[in-house]
Amino acid sequence: MNIKSKEEVNKIRIACQLISKVHKQVLKLNFVGQSELQIKKYIMDLITDMDIDELAFPIIVGSGVRSLILHAEPTEKIVCANDLVLIDMGLKFEGYCSDMTRTWPAGGTFSNEQKIIYDIIKKAQQDVLNSISKNQSLFSLHEIAKNSLCRSLDLTDLKGRYDIQKIYPHKTSHWIGLDVHDGNVYIDEKNQPILLQSGMCFTVEPGLYIQNTDTKFDGIGIRIEDVVVITESGFEILTA
Ligand code: GLY
Ligand code: MN
């Protein structure tokens, strides 16, 4: 179930290339002054123009403090220059899904605090990618992400002021295939974590959603998500 054939991986690859293209186009939009719903409409128009007829899940657009919401449904909220904009979207190609999240500063530059958190998450994602091997499971990759996040956070004013479960309340990875959260099975019949094998496709999506820490980081929500496939020789990132 978790292992995809070459043909299936190819369909996921194409779905990932298409959503990467959409994300790239979205970056050309000036977010400031637009509502989240207008951003969603812009995305929907792009997708329609690309002749894509099925989303993998409803488009998520969360700006400002709404980036703290894991699955923010776009609203009439107008995006301000200092806001972050979290966009999480996926589409289907011949039934197979993609899933990709980017978080951008609406006005084009991160504040100091936003940049610190962005870099911490980027590093956590890279630490996970560097650890991918056939001895790992999605559970162990999650531990690697959490440890990386905590190590970096402890070098900031957030040290001693956060609970990682509260500011990172979701898992780092899920399988992807015909469903965006494909076959919710992460342990085998012997109750052991499923180890990574060639043909397995999954997301790597660390994030932080910071609130109630009484620091200048409160209100920052950032997630970075890419899709990876395990290959014979290592792994390939399918989104870019
Ligand atoms: N990107 C949506 C999700 O993973 O739930
Ligand atoms: Mn996901």
Nearest bound ligand to CA 204? Answer: 2
- Residue 60 sits in which domain range? 6-237
- What's the CATH number where 148 sits? 3.90.230.10
In a domain, 42, yes or no: yes
Give the Å distance between the CA of 174 and the centre of ligand 2: 7
Mutate to test the pocket of ligand 1, among 203, 226, 227, 239 (most ligand atoms within 8 A of CB): 203
The tokens describing 3, both together, are 């292992």
In a domain, 208, yes or no: yes
pLDDT in tens, 17-74: 999 999 999 999 999 999 999 999 999 999 999 999 899 999 999 999 999 999 999 9
**Structural domain count of the chain:** 1
Contact between 111 and 73 (Cβ < 8 Å): no
Q: Which residues are close to ligand 2, an ion, with C-beta < 5 A?
A: 99, 203
Q: What is the CA radius of gyration of the chain?
A: 18
Residue 88, ligand 1, Cβ within 6 A: yes
In a domain, 53, yes or no: yes
Which atom of ligand 1 is found nearest the CA of 101? 1
In a domain, 129, yes or no: yes
In a domain, 1, yes or no: no
Residue numbers of the chain with a pLDDT score lower than 50 = none
Q: Is the pTM of this model over 0.95?
A: yes
Residue 99, ligand 1, Cβ within 6 A: yes
Contact between 222 and 84 (Cβ < 8 Å): yes
